[in-house]
Amino acid sequence: MTATSIARDRFGLGARAGEAMLADPRAALRDAAARFDPRPPAIAAVPGSGPMAAQFREYLAELRDTRAGDMGEGPMVMGKVAAQSLRKGLRKQYRDNYGAQVRARVTAALTGASPFAERLTHFWANHFAVSADKLQTIGLAGTLEFEAIRPNLFGTFGALLLAVETHPAMLLYLDQAQSIGPGSLVGMRAALRENAKRKVGLNENLAREILELHTLGVGGGYAQADVQELARAMTGWSVGGFVRRPVGIEAPDGAFVFQPNWHEPGPRTLLGKPYRQEGEAQARAMLADLAVHPATARHLAAKLARHFAADVPPPALVERLTAAHLRSGGDLSSLYAVLIDAPEIWATPASKFRTPWEWTIAALRGIGAQSAPDLRLVNALQELGQPVWRPGSPAGWDDTAASWAAPDALLRRVEVAQRFATAVGDRIDARALATQLLGPSLTPATASAIARADSNVQGLALLLVSPEYMRR
């Protein structure tokens, strides 16, 4: 691979036909922050978390009205039917919004002035994974990336962490929005009501994933007691417009809101350090310390090295990234600078196997697409095994070849490549495009296969599924 191809394929999202060689690939990557638009037109055009929350609040109000009319067997049956209809209508609205957000993400990846920054955006969105599988998060998963990650891409990890953990998508996905301390005012009142219709209590989901996935990592030195202490500190963190139980504090739809009457009072101890702050400030202080903890630095370093260099992270690169994190207080630009200067990334062959998302974007860039094509793209990513913002677990998608290189997965890529190539037709010569996109990486075997193809469409499809195009 040439330096230009490494910059475009490994750091970026794939080469485009007709692009000139980069005079200084490293300098082009260092200019990523200046060229990155955190809110490009395609993303600005889709609904944000506020409208999503407003839709959900209206749904809850209509649902309450429906249930209030349930009197007697006949009306109750009608009420259930009405409730199901309301839920179906909301789900359709959210699915439409989800599709629009996916297309906006694709368009940003295809047209953004800084493909390196777009790749970093996708990396952090997977690190802080939420899944659009729950009703509340179908239309919200994309807004986490658009509203919390993109604006904080070149700040500190602490700022990024706080923005993510206070975003409605994360709070709702991991059931934090209605976590109530047993010793809080609301918790103690609920304990006195023996026949309370809805149980209240502490939820540890978000606290556990913050420690295990977002910061320290598995083996990062925390215990179950630390999970519980962080969970207690975060009680009262909620979302305006999305919770069934009114929070008692006015907040814009979709905005983070702290409910003091839900907060578990008292000092906490996390990783051996006491936290005597009161209310919302307590968990914020914990997150600030976690963001610069040595275990967090090493956890993030290993993930970045794995993503950009090799499935087995080079130890020396991990050490340099860890040191940069600790030295800079978690400054993300300092970490990116280490990546750009890493000889391990520039010297190694194309060892990283493209995930379905990476391959799809690289293929679309290669054939010159400027926006999400009308090729059932959402369904195509589902077929390829990596639907956007739907990893199925807070751990996100795996980042190694073993997860994506199975024969059946490759067959699905062949089918999608055929659709992409058919849409292009004869507008782009497959043989010329192969030379432009792959350069010296184009093997004689692939060049011969493309040249001997029965049609230009078949040649394009062969290019997109060639071994060279599968890796970066």
Same domain, 287 and 301: no
**What is the pLDDT tens value at each position of the chain, 472 positions in all?**
899 999 999 999 999 988 888 999 999 999 999 999 999 999 999 999 999 888 888 888 888 777 665 554 444 444 678 888 888 888 898 999 999 999 999 999 999 999 999 999 999 999 999 999 998 899 999 999 999 999 999 999 999 999 999 999 999 999 999 999 999 999 998 888 765 556 679 999 999 999 999 999 999 999 999 999 999 999 999 998 876 555 567 788 899 999 999 999 999 999 999 999 999 999 999 999 999 999 999 999 999 999 999 999 999 999 999 999 999 999 999 999 999 999 999 987 888 999 999 999 999 999 999 888 776 889 999 999 999 999 999 999 999 999 999 999 999 999 999 999 999 999 999 999 999 999 999 999 999 999 999 999 999 999 999 999 999 9
Cβ(257)–Cβ(236) under 8 Å? no
Residues 233 and 141 in one domain: no
Chain centroid to CA 92: 22
Q: Which of 47, 53, 240 is nearest to 137 (CA)?
A: 53
300 plus 363 within the same structural domain: no
In angstroms, what CA-CA distances link 84 with 59, 66, 70, 244, 390?
A: 11, 10, 14, 17, 24
DSSP result, 324-338: HHHHHTSBHHHHHHH
User: CB within 8 A of 448, min separation 6: which ones?
Assistant: none
Query: Global pTM?
Result: 0.94
Residue 255: CB partners within 8 Å, gap ≥ 6? 50, 53, 168, 239, 240
Question: Does residue 40 sit in the same domain as residue 152?
Answer: yes
Q: Calculate ∠ Cα 396-397-403, nearest 5°.
A: 150
Look up the domain containing 465 and give its range: 353-470
C-alpha Rg value of the chain to the nearest Å: 24
Q: Specify the pLDDT at position 58.
A: 86
- Which pLDDT score, from 0 to 100, does residue 195 have? 55
Taking Cα atoms as reference points, which of 259, 323, 286, 266 lies closest to residue 162?
A: 286
**How far apart are alpha carbons 47 and 66 in whole angstroms?**
27
Rounded distance, CA 271 to CA 392, Å? 29
The pLDDT of residue 342 is 98
Asked, for residue 100, whether it belongs to a domain, the answer is: yes
Cβ-contact 110, 365 below 8 angstroms = yes
Instruction: Examine residue 70 and state whether it is found in any structural domain, yes or no.
Output: yes
One domain for residues 271 and 217: yes
Same domain, 279 and 298: no
Single residue among 152, 173, 194 that ends a domain in this structure: 173
Last residue of a domain, one of 291, 310, 325: 291
Tell me: do 219 and 237 sit in the same domain: yes
Q: Are 434 and 450 in contact (CB under 8 A)?
A: yes
Q: Which two tokens stand for residue 67?
A: 């249930």
Q: Are residues 319 and 361 in the same domain?
A: no
Q: Are residues 372 and 426 in the same domain?
A: yes
